[in-house]
Amino acid sequence: CLMIKSLFRLSLRMVTGFAQSLIKLCGLNWTAPDYSTLCRRKKHIDIAISYQKSRDGLHLLVDSTGLKFLGEGEWKRKKHQPEYRCQSRKLHIGIDAKTLQRAVQLTTNNVSDSQVLGDLLDQITLDEQIDSVYTDGAYDTKKCRQVISDRQAYAVIPPRKNSKPWKDKKLRSLERNELLKTVKRLG
């Protein structure tokens, strides 16, 4: 829901085809409106796609990807001028392993993955239990581990390459330090 809403804001020309492919991936029999329809209605587009609440605890898979796009006139500059600078955004996605739906955040490319995790988890209502959060090493920060433990979830985050043990004695730090020892021992 939020992913499609955010993508409409990105670039109306690019989004029509991209939204159509997302709709097909979701298994829905919908059609994305064309560019002229979006231009007429862009001031009052309000999309609400319902999702099925999970009866069990969620196993949330979190990652991000980059979206590169061209603005109006960018193609001409690319073709006729030697220097060209493309624009990009980051799409941060949190997906439940069973239902394949949940939380999405679109940011500029200068926002790190770890800064967005709290916002992604806030999109999941408090009445839904999160059992575990699986991420990559970009989320290996104290703030991310705190946000996950605040939701009483288990963090499955591999340590970054060349990670050093954390000096504080909080539970999340002790768990991470044990993981570092295990990785050093087993490889």
pLDDT digits (tens, 9 = 90+) for 97-119: 887 767 888 888 888 888 999 99
DSSP 183: H
Q: Which of 61-75, 83-97, 113-127 has the highest mean pLDDT?
A: 113-127
For the chain, what are the domain ranges?
1-50, 56-186
Q: Which fold has domain 56-186?
A: Nucleotidyltransferase; domain 5 (3.30.420)
Got the DSSP string for 78-89? HHHSS----EEE
Overall average pLDDT of the 71-81 stretch: 62
Rounded CA-CA distance 61/92 in Å is: 11
Overall average pLDDT of the 45-57 stretch: 63
- State the residue for tokens 């009445």: 127
Task: State the DSSP H helix or E strand holding residue 154, giving kind and residue range, or none if neither.
Answer: strand 154-156
Task: State the DSSP H helix or E strand holding residue 115, giving kind and residue range, or none if neither.
Answer: helix 113-122
Model confidence at 182: pLDDT above 70: yes
Indicate the pLDDT class of residue 7, thresholds 50, 70 and 90. very low
